[in-house]
């Protein structure tokens, strides 16, 4: 991961840090957010 990708990841993490469980569940339901399993 280069510096640019790391900055983007940090912005994304900060955005989702302020979301409630219900908001994240709704995004998943609407396919606006996709859960990726690594394994």
Our count of domains for the chain comes to 1
CA–CA separation, 30 and 33 (whole Å): 8
CA distances in angstroms from 38 to 26, 35, listed in the order given: 22, 10
Sign of the dihedral through C-alpha 17, 19, 20, 21:
negative
Q: What is the mean pLDDT of each run of 10 residues along the chain (39 residues)?
A: 94 91 92 81
Structural domain boundaries enclosing 13? 1-39
pTM of the model: 0.58
**pLDDT at 38 (0 to 100):** 76
Give the three-state DSSP class for 22: helix
Structure tokens belonging to residue 24: 């994240």
């Amino acid at each position: 991961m280069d510096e640019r990708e790391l900055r983007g990841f940090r912005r994304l993490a900060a955005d989702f840090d302020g979301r409630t469980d219900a908001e994240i569940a709704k995004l998943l339901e609407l396919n606006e957010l996709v859960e990726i399993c690594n394994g």
